[in-house]
Amino acid sequence: MEDVKRILVVSRSTVECKKALHYGVTLAKAFSAELSLLHIEYDPFEKIGFRHVASTSLSDFREEYRVREKQIREEIDARIRHEMAEGTIVSQMVEKGEPLEQTLRAVEKDKIDLIIMAAHEEGRIERMVYGRSTHELIRKLPCSIMFVKGE
């Protein structure tokens, strides 16, 4: 096995991403590796054309999505502050845009050895919202990838 020197945790600010960060911290400590966290700010509603829809229930759903995303991001940030207080160095990047493109860009730019991200079941709605980005990512990544399953 090659040495793991640079680890990237990808966060879409979902509950599962908190667990991926836990694995990233644990492995970075075990390998004495650099740890980076990529927050991807992505509005899936724009991708599927819901940006200008006036439906009250859809607007409520979109707002609920944003509130939940913000809450999870705050929890992730708190965990990073805790880890940094304990001496773990975590660099953070925030990128807006398509998750696949932003992830590939970060991996290539920072010469990442291992990427860690949440695994999830792709139901119809999630496939519609995120597309098949995980499958594309696996094919295009120049490094190893670890998927962390939720509860």
Q: Which residue has the tokens 């992830």?
A: 103
> What residues contact residue 119 under an 8 Å CB cut-off, 6+ apart?
16, 134, 147, 148, 149, 150
Neighbours of 81 (CB within 10 A): 11
User: Distance between CA 29 and CA 134 in Å, rounded?
Assistant: 26
* Res 47: pLDDT: 57
Instruction: Of 132, 128, 139, give the one whose Cα is nearest residue 48.
Output: 128
pLDDT mean over 51-63: 62
Locate the domains of the chain by residue range: 6-148
Asked if pLDDT for residue 126 goes beyond 80, the answer is no
Q: Provide the pLDDT confidence category of residue 27 given band limits of 50, 70 and 90.
A: very high
pLDDT mean over 70-88: 84
Q: Which of 7-16, 21-30, 49-58, 128-137 has the lowest mean pLDDT?
A: 49-58
pLDDT mean over 4-15: 86
Give the CATH number of domain 6-148; options: 3.20.20.140, 3.40.1410.10, 3.40.50.620, 3.40.50.2300: 3.40.50.620
SS3 at position 109: helix
Task: Show the tokens assigned to 99.
Answer: 């998750």
Q: Which of 25-29, 118-122, 146-150 has the highest mean pLDDT?
A: 25-29
